[in-house]
Amino acid sequence: MQKPILISICVSILLILGAFWFSSRTPSAYNGSAVSIVDGKQIIDISAKGGYSPRVVLARAGIPSVLRVSTRGTFDCSSSLVIPKLQYQKFLSPTGTEEIPISPEQAQGTMQGLCSMGMYNFQIRFQ
């Protein structure tokens, strides 16, 4: 009876340590095709399905921006989007694109987006 309990404790500790290790890794910043400027507005594209991609985006600070969140058959937690800095919270449609305006004043520092459970997240780093 002692041996199964000891094994359960060891497995639990390994799982917890693994979770901390994975969550502490800093994702690399992505500044590829996720950001474009069209007619003086910065367009930031994020996809939501099984998390958010890209996880970190570098964008220009202080200019009018639009965050476009695209879904395609998304039925998981990432469809429930929360952006605290914008006081935004919405259930996204399973397939489509949600356009979220960001004023020049809001386009400063780091903006965090996450699912309502906090499992999935992304960052926009305005520089």
Give the integer Cα–Cα distance in Å for 123 and 10: 34
Task: Tell me the average confidence (pLDDT) per consecutive run of 10 residues in the chain, 127 residues long.
Answer: 74 62 49 85 97 97 98 97 97 98 98 96 97
Residue 97 amino acid letter = T
Q: Quick one: pLDDT at residue 17?
A: 55
Domains of the chain, with CATH numbers? 35-126 (2.60.40.420)
Rounded CA-CA distance 125/111 in Å is 6
Rounded to an integer, what distance in angstroms lies between the CA atom of residue 73 and that of residue 95? 5
Q: Answer for the pair 55, 121: CB distance below 8 angstroms, yes or no.
A: yes
**Helix extents (H) in 1-127:** 2-24
Its pTM stands at 0.75
